[in-house]
């Protein structure tokens, strides 16, 4: 299949200058009393919460109660690629991935097995101001509870989402990149509820930690990330019994956080936002793109002997082709290999996106092209196994994401309640880049630059 020209919403507003440190481009909000005095915000990101769950959440007590006293949308459009860390950085910045710089869950690491790759974990890797940056400069007290891209961030109570690589200690890595005294307090109180990083016990630990932080610290801004639904979908499929069970568990976790806000006496001044980051699509076929590049002589070997001229960084429902800088021959050879692969209907390649169409995806500026998978096809980065692999039985490959945000049935859910938000309002289509300016508005300030807008119809003011 030849390249298709895809339309995407163009950014609104200019780009940040990368010659200035982030603090230099933040608005001056240094006052005795921050501009959002009397306003608080709690954000609960539920990984993988999509339109598939719309009818289910309307029947669950905590979700339905939140929607009845606030507003909701079942058409929140994600960004490309629709990967967790990419999307959460957009949630915090209001910028497209090509601007904020987090264009994948992990940086490009050709030849390294995915389980051994470093991810985008650190706040310093974000190239645009975040909601935490603005809130801190406004004098607000902030908390992050298992939130991505905040390792080593200047957050008063920081429980960062970061993973140990082989040979590392998970506990030491979290403590080294977060707030040690705060983390120790949480572990002493709630460690008995956790079983390592297994779900849903981890989300039970995280939701208890978030609730306790609300009642004991009363932060002005708290953002937390719950992952059990995404874990269940990856393992068993989008509409599986484990996914339904995880959603019911997360309703209880949300209820725990809502109760904490009420117990702290903060309901009247707190905006509570709950949202998903991407959808999932059940996969029945795997395609190992880098095998095609290896066959073309563009990569090969392993370990210290691995060599590459071209490499596909895969993200489930999409992939990016990278070549070594200046190696135009490798780029031409790689494109020829991938175009030939796309001609075979068996591979499940939907489109190869290049040139202006690639720029309109607002994503990885260093990639030579992007590949889109057909729904049900999963691009795999590692080279071990057959070029094309079919699931031996239904559900064997589970579900995946990373697809184009306009894939069918792929929109996310958003719901919010709090000061200035009317009850029972169903919002129309919104964009992920709208989330950060909307959250900032609820706290009484604005981003210096954004690719989104405050969600129309959400606030009475």
pLDDT tens across 96-122, in order?
999 999 999 999 999 999 999 999 999
Is the model's pLDDT at 5 over the cut of 80? no
Domain over 285-390 is classified CATH 3.30.1360: yes
- Print the SS3 string covering 42-74: EEEEECCCEHHHHHHHCCCHHHHHHHHCCEEEE
Report the top-level CATH class of 37-281+410-443.
alpha beta
Q: How far apart are CA 85 and CA 280, in angstroms?
A: 15
Is the model's pLDDT at 28 over the cut of 50? no
* Residue bearing tokens 């607000």: 140
pLDDT at 18: 39
Q: pLDDT digit string (tens) for 65-93?
A: 999 999 999 999 999 999 999 999 999 99
pLDDT at 460: 85
pLDDT at 395: 87
Is the model's pLDDT at 145 over the cut of 50? yes
pLDDT band, residue 290 (cuts 50/70/90) = very high
pLDDT at 31: 40
Is the model's pLDDT at 21 over the cut of 60? no
HSE-up of 54 (CA within 13 Å, CB side)? Answer: 15
pLDDT band, residue 36 (cuts 50/70/90) = low
pLDDT band, residue 203 (cuts 50/70/90) = very high
pLDDT at 296: 97
- Helices and strands (H and E) in the chain: how many: 14, 20
Q: Are strands 281-282 and 399-400 parallel, antiparallel or unpaired?
A: antiparallel
Q: How far apart are CA 134 and CA 153, in angstroms?
A: 13
Lowest mean pLDDT among 3-17, 396-410, 446-460: 3-17
Is the model's pLDDT at 23 over the cut of 50? no
**Average pLDDT over the chain, rounded to an integer:** 92
More confident residue, 106 or 2: 106
pLDDT at 246: 98
Tokens matching residue 361: 């995806």
The fraction of the chain above a pLDDT of 70, given in percent, is 92
Is the model's pLDDT at 19 over the cut of 60? no
Lowest mean pLDDT among 37-46, 50-59, 417-426: 37-46
The fraction of the chain above a pLDDT of 90, given in percent, is 91
pLDDT at 1: 37
Mean predicted confidence (pLDDT) in 166-182: 96
Tell me how far CA of residue 415 lies from CA of 168, 217, 246, in angstroms: 38, 25, 19
pLDDT at 394: 83
Q: Are strands 318-323 and 281-282 parallel, antiparallel or unpaired?
A: unpaired
pLDDT band, residue 137 (cuts 50/70/90) = very high
Q: pLDDT digit string (tens) for 259-283?
A: 999 999 999 999 999 999 999 999 9
pLDDT at 6: 37
Q: Closest Cα to residue 370, out of 118, 122, 8?
A: 8
pLDDT at 235: 97
Q: E strand or H helix at 343, and its extent?
A: helix 328-343
pLDDT at 461: 67
pLDDT at 38: 65
- Segments making up each domain of the chain, as ranges: 37-281+410-443, 285-390
Q: Are 210 and 189 in contact (CB under 8 A)?
A: no
Q: How far apart are CA 323 and CA 310, in angstroms?
A: 4
Spatial neighbors of 303 by CB under 8 A, at least 6 apart, are none
HSE-up of 458 (CA within 13 Å, CB side)? Answer: 26
Using the 8-state DSSP alphabet, how is residue 441 labeled?
A: H
Mean predicted confidence (pLDDT) in 393-398: 91
> Which SS3 state, helix, strand or coil, does residue 299 take?
strand
**Computed from CA positions of residues 277, 281, 284, 287, in that sequence, does the dihedral angle turn out positive or negative?**
negative
Lowest mean pLDDT among 29-38, 371-380, 432-441: 29-38
pLDDT band, residue 254 (cuts 50/70/90) = very high
Tokens matching residue 356: 């202006």
Beta bridge partners of 373: 349
- List of E strands, 148-195: 157-160
Q: pLDDT digit string (tens) for 322-345?
A: 999 999 999 999 999 999 999 999
């Amino acid at each position: 299949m030849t390249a298709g020209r895809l339309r995407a919403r163009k950014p609104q507003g200019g780009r940040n200058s990368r010659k200035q440190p982030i603090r230099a481009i933040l608005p001056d909000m240094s006052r005795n009393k921050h501009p959002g005095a009397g306003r608080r915000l709690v954000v609960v990101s539920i990984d993988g919460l999509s339109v598939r769950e719309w009818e289910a959440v309307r029947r669950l007590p905590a979700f339905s109660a939140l929607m009845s006293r606030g507003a909701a949308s079942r058409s929140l459009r994600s960004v490309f690629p629709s990967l967790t860390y990419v999307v959460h950085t957009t949630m915090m910045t209001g910028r497209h991935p090509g601007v904020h710089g987090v264009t994948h869950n992990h940086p490009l690491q050709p030849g390294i097995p995915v389980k051994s790759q470093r991810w985008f974990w650190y706040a310093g890797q974000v190239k645009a101001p975040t909601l935490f940056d603005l809130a801190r400069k406004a004098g607000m007290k902030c908390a992050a509870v298992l939130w991505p891209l905040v390792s080593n961030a200047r957050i008063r109570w920081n429980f960062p989402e970061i993973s140990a690589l082989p040979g590392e200690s998970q506990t030491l890595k979290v403590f080294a990149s977060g707030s040690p005294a705060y983390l120790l307090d949480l572990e002493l109180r709630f460690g008995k509820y956790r079983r390592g990083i297994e779900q849903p016990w981890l989300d039970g630990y995280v939701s208890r930690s978030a609730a306790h932080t609300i009642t004991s610290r009363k932060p002005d801004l708290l953002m937390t990330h719950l992952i059990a639904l995404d874990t269940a979908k990856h393992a068993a499929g989008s509409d599986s019994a484990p996914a339904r069970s995880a959603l019911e568990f997360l309703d209880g976790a949300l209820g725990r956080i809502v109760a904490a806000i009420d117990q702290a006496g903060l309901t009247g001044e707190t905006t509570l936002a709950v949202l998903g980051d991407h959808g999932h699509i059940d996969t029945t076929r795997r395609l190992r793109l880098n095998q095609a590049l290896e066959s073309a002589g563009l990569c090969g070997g392993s370990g210290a002997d691995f060599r590459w001229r071209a490499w596909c960084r895969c993200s489930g429902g999409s992939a990016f082709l990278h070549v070594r800088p200046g190696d135009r021959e490798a780029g031409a050879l790689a494109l020829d290999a991938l175009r030939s692969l796309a001609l075979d209907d068996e591979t499940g390649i939907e489109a190869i996106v290049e040139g202006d169409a690639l720029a309109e995806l607002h994503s990885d500026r260093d990639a030579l092209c992007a590949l889109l998978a057909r729904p049900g096809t999963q691009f795999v980065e590692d080279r071990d196994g057959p070029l094309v692999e079919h699931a031996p039985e239904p559900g064997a490959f589970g579900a995946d994401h990373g697809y184009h945000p306009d894939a069918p049935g792929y929109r996310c859910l958003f719901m919010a309640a709090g000061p200035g938000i009317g009850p029972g309002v169903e919002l129309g289509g919104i964009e992920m880049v709208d989330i950060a300016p909307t959250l900032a508005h609820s706290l009484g300030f604005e981003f210096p630059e954004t690719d989104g807008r405050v969600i129309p119809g959400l606030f009475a003011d």
